Amino acid sequence: HCAKSFIGDEPFAVMLGDDVVDSEVPCLKQLMNCYEEYNTSILGVQQVEKSQVSKYGVIKNLNIEKCVYKVKDLIEKPSVQEAPSNIAILGRYILMPDIFNVLEKTKPGKGDEIQLTDALKNLLEHQVIYACEFKGRRYDVGDKFGYLQATVGMALKRDDLRDPFMNYLSGLYESKIFNETAAK
């Protein structure tokens, strides 16, 4: 909502900083391609383990075509039993500016915060929303283990870092310090 004065009447992208996506075609470009087809708000989604749905906004969907869904409902951080699917909203959106009016009327939800998922659920009453299941490896860098996975995964992709980093990791693994720490 803080960006409203900069957006005007244009669709805009939201990219949450705790999600890093490594993909051949950039995640946002995949969503833009979907937007060009449907001209409405587009949510970036991927399937997650059913046990993980309580960490995310989850959609109830109607499959439109391969990797594209019409959103029928959204639930913020549902329990496994409440989750309508295992298709989670993962930190990438193209939104229509109408969301700002909805955000102004949205009451605090989970965590006593105004949740974008709740606002999108309200927007569904006035506008069709689609979800694009993007291709790529998503890292949740808001999670300590996810942060480590992203750091290692991205370092190993770089020609200038791969070999020295692998040598460093091998050295740690073989060192007495690593073995003593691992034994604890």
Task: Find the angle CA(134)-CA(99)-CA(22) to the nearest 5 degrees.
Answer: 20
Q: Token match 């946002």: residue?
A: 28
Within 13 Å of residue 80, how many CA atoms lie on the same side as its CB? 5
Indicate whether 168 and 126 sit together in one domain: no
Query: What residues make up the domain containing 167?
Result: 144-183
Indicate whether 150 and 62 sit together in one domain: no
Q: How many domains does the chain have?
A: 2
* Amino acid (1-letter code) at residue 112: D
- In tens, the pLDDT along 128-163 reads 999 999 999 999 999 899 999 999 999 999 999 999
- In tens, the pLDDT along 68-126 reads 999 999 998 899 999 999 999 999 999 999 999 898 888 877 778 778 888 898 999 98
Indicate whether 103 and 150 sit together in one domain: no
Give CA–CA dist 151/111, Å, rounded: 29
Q: pTM, whole model, 2 decimals? A: 0.86
Helix (H), strand (E), coil (C) string for 13-62: EEECCCEEEECCCCHHHHHHHHHHHHCCEEEEEEECCHHHHHHCEEEEEE
